[in-house]
Amino acid sequence: MTLVTFLFYFFEAVVALSAIALALVRNVFYGALLVIVCLLALAGIYVMAFAEFVAVTQILIYAGGILVVIIFGIMLTSKISGKPLVVDHTFVLSGLTVAAAFLALIVYAISTQTFPEAKGTMQVATIDTVGMALFTKYVLPFEIAGLLLLMALIGAAVIASSVKTKS
């Protein structure tokens, strides 16, 4: 077994185990930490697939940005109520049934699909071409997404604030 194969299986196992643990954990804070572990392991798989830009984006945006906001919100919420957020697992059997049905549907869809052979050379998008397209052709959607994320952050801060308004 080569080092690359070992690393791929290692990252794959980390992703699978953290996803399973996420479904079984009761504390929301630990769930957010497991999501970070899962996203970082996915970034490792992206690096091994020579998709470095996607891996860096995964780390910066998801693991570094969004989950920090989620953890910040969880910590603020638990500080206000004085107790940790806990999730009760009341519908385990129905959840497992739905998950098994979706797994069977995905396995059936993939097994009946015919994948065509790749012909010719594949055009590789480098970071330079992605950056130029993002800031020229797709600048409006990029700015709108930034504004939406800023509004969501401000809304989360307002909801989490402990300042009461007079009615």
**What is the tens place of the pLDDT at every residue in 44-96?**
999 998 888 888 888 888 877 777 777 777 777 666 666 666 767 788 889 88
Distances (CA, A) of 128 to 18, 43, 84, 135: 34, 20, 45, 11
Q: Is residue 96 part of a domain?
A: no
In a domain, 32, yes or no: yes
Is residue 60 assigned to a domain? Answer: yes
Are residues 2 and 68 both part of a single domain?
yes
**The whole model's pTM is what?**
0.63
Q: What is the mean pLDDT of residues 108-136?
A: 83
- Determine the pLDDT at residue 47: 92
pLDDT classification of 163: cutoffs 50, 70, 90: low
Q: Give the chain's mean pLDDT.
A: 84
Same domain membership, residue 151 and residue 76: no
Same domain for 24 and 73, yes or no, is: yes
Are residues 80 and 21 part of one domain? Answer: yes
Residue 105, in any domain of the structure: no
Pair 21, 35: CB distance under 8 Å: no
| Residues 6+ away with beta carbon under 8 Å from 140 | none
How many domains is the chain built from?
2
> Does a structural domain hold residue 49?
yes
Residue 55 lies in a domain: yes
The C-alpha atoms of residue 55 and residue 33 are separated, in whole angstroms, by 18
Residue that the structure tokens 């091994």 belong to: 48
DSSP string, 141-164: HHHHHHHHHHHHHHHHHHHH--PP
For the chain, the first-to-last Cα distance in angstroms comes to 68
Task: Judge whether 29 lies within some domain.
Answer: yes
Please give the structure tokens belonging to residue 80.
Answer: 């206000």
Rounded CA separation 86/106 (Å): 31
Out of 34, 67, 87, a domain closes at 87
Count CB atoms within 10 A of the CB of residue 18: 21
pLDDT band at 11 (very low <50, low <70, confident <90, very high): very high
Q: Is 149 exposed, middle or buried (0-12, 13-18, 19+ CB in 10 A)?
A: middle
Alpha-carbon distance 51 to 39, whole Å? 15
**Which structural domain range is residue 75 located in?**
1-87
Mean pLDDT of 113-139: 82
Q: Domain for residue 71, yes or no? A: yes
Half-sphere exposure at residue 143, Cβ-oriented, CA atoms within 13 angstroms: 6
How far apart CA 163 and CA 76 sit, in angstroms, is 13
